[in-house]
Amino acid sequence: MTETSRLPAVRASYDAVAADYARLLRGVLEAAPLDRAMLDSFGEYVRGAGGRAVADLGCGPGRVTAYLDAIGVRAFGVDLSPAMVAVARRSYPGLRFEVGSMRALDVADGVLGGVLSWYSTAHTPPAELPFFFTEFARVLAPGGYALVAFEAGEGMRTLDHAYGHPVDLDVYRTPPDLVARSLAEAGLTETARLVRAPGPAEGGPQAFLLARKAD
């Protein structure tokens, strides 16, 4: 079963959990200094490369988009779930949020300074990552950056309940070296990576990989 065929189930699941997801994850980033350090570094690289806009892909309720905005990055969010986008718009009315798929972005070629994928490939089989990363590379300007956050490891688990609601989600762990290779196949060269131990509510190590599109 391909990722594309699973999109309706992913969309429906996140529509169902949107409000409780936003409530339950409030404050998570503030308690994760290494995660913030990667976002801060990403923002500094983007600003240093000209300060073009950043797309937060799979933005959910918008909390990371808002963090980028707070550190001086011109960020907007895109999410597959209309309910998530509605929550984000209510929570951060001064920011831009759109419904869309990160596999086919409504963004012109070569216009973005950065692309953020904050756990938004969690439901993508590893073999399909190059399709997404090719789209990331398409919308990035030369010298632009991509930051990908994901759960490190191997294997897939299916969730039928999350955030207080029934869901239908396949969740993948991915080896960092595989993510780096997939980014490289798309024309994005690894700049840095961080792998940290799992937090109390996390099932495994968490990875963050920063990559750059050539000038």
Separation CA 215–CA 116 (nearest Å)? 19
Assess if residue 157 is contained within a domain: yes
Q: What are phi and psi of 180, to 5 degrees?
A: -60, -40
Tell me: the pLDDT tens digits for 147-168? 999 999 999 999 899 899 999 9
pLDDT value at residue 110: 98
pLDDT value at residue 1: 31
Mean pLDDT per block of 10 residues along the chain (215 residues) reads 69 95 92 97 97 97 98 97 98 97 95 98 94 97 98 94 92 97 97 94 92 96
Query: How large is the angle between the packed helices 63-70 and 82-91, nearest 10 degrees?
Result: 40
pLDDT value at residue 159: 87
Domain carrying residue 20: 3-164+176-213
Assess if residue 136 is contained within a domain: yes
pLDDT value at residue 203: 82
pLDDT value at residue 202: 85
Assess if residue 187 is contained within a domain: yes
Q: What is the pTM of this model?
A: 0.95
14 closest CA partner among 55, 57, 77, 61: 61
Tell me: the pLDDT tens digits for 30-59? 999 999 999 999 999 999 999 999 999 999
Q: Supply the CATH number for residue 149's domain.
A: 3.40.50.150
pLDDT value at residue 4: 56
Alpha-carbon separation of residue 100 from 48, 64, 109, 129, 142 (angstroms)? 28, 17, 16, 17, 24
Assess if residue 47 is contained within a domain: yes
pLDDT value at residue 155: 95
Assess if residue 29 is contained within a domain: yes
Q: Which two tokens stand for residue 12?
A: 């429906």
Query: Considering its fold, how many domains does the chain have in total?
Result: 1
Assess if residue 120 is contained within a domain: yes
pLDDT value at residue 136: 98
Assess if residue 16 is contained within a domain: yes
Assess if residue 169 is contained within a domain: no
